[in-house]
Amino acid sequence: MKILIVDDSPDCSLLAKTFLKKAGYNDIITAQSAKECFELLGMDGPESEPNNTNIDIILMDIVMADVDGLEAVRKIKATASVKDIPIVMVTANTDDNNLQTSFEIGAIDYVTKPVNKIELRSRVRSILKLKEETDRRMKLMRELEEANRKLERLTFIDGLTAIANRRHFDKSLDKEMRNARRENKVLSLIMMDIDFFKKYNDSHGHQEGDDCLKQVAKVLDNVAHRPGDLAARYGGEEFAIVLPDADSENAVKIAEKARAAVADLKIPHGNSTVLDYVTLSLGVATVKPICDKAIPQDLIHAADKALYLAKENGRNRSQTSEDL
């Protein structure tokens, strides 16, 4: 445990340091002024920089020549990187006002001068044990929060393709539909199928089929690059891209970009009657701002209808819907 003693009296610092060293605390540093204390804590650098001093406790003299201990504590507690370090005031003046002020500005305890060996050791030991337990609990809390974030992310990610799953798609489309209605903007949706994917699975096997889905998903995720765009696995070999604030013309361009990008993968597909590699059929639908009664299912239905037409018209193409 690392202890910082701040006292403008070298004799007082030496006495406190000696008492603590005999109690087994060997990592002790001293500062003879508030300014030197601030430098040791790294408070003279950019405020955004984290505290790398690893100070576990500060013993702060109240009466010092340049900046008194109370003002020093105020500045420390106002600095995000070091505000959580416990501070014990060291004072020869046990005036109630001084002590009350010390606690009000963030000090955790006090020790009287001349320093009593037993008192100093017991106060420091108790505070360090409390800090150790607090640090342990904070670490566990951070680990729990991180685990919860990962778990939450997993609930929205498709386990195979690592893009958004159906649940995330549904929530996102509903949110974007409400945003479009509120802000009087357009919203487009692309629904797409891998052409003859069942035949691909039958001839290449499910392992190759899974790999094909992963490659297609990665391409679609790259195509959906604007802020707010969302590429998702809708189910099986069917994918979707939600396009906030994209009109029909721009949505078709993105659909064609997706179609061409998947074709450029040149994933062999000997059982396709379209080409000898994997292709996509895509349906595009757009809800206009004036359509304030549309719901997400309307947009999905329109995009699905356009997708059906794309398949009927030969596949490996995109088709728009005029239903909305």
Known catalytic residues are 237
The full DSSP string for 120-167 is HHHHHHHHHHHHHHHHHHHHHHHHHHHHHHHHHHHHHB-TTTSSB-HH
Which amino acid would we find at residue 184?
A: N
Sign for the CA dihedral angle at 66, 71, 76, 80 comes to: negative
For 294, phi then psi, to 5°, come to -70, 145
Contact status, residue 34 vs residue 71, Cβ threshold 8 Å: yes
List C-alpha distances in Å: 122 to 20, 111, 116: 10, 10, 10
Task: Tell me the angle at which helices 96-104 and 69-77 cross, rounded to the nearest 10 degrees.
Answer: 10
Pairwise CA distance, residues 153 & 62, whole Å: 50
Pairwise CA distance, residues 125 & 143, whole Å: 27
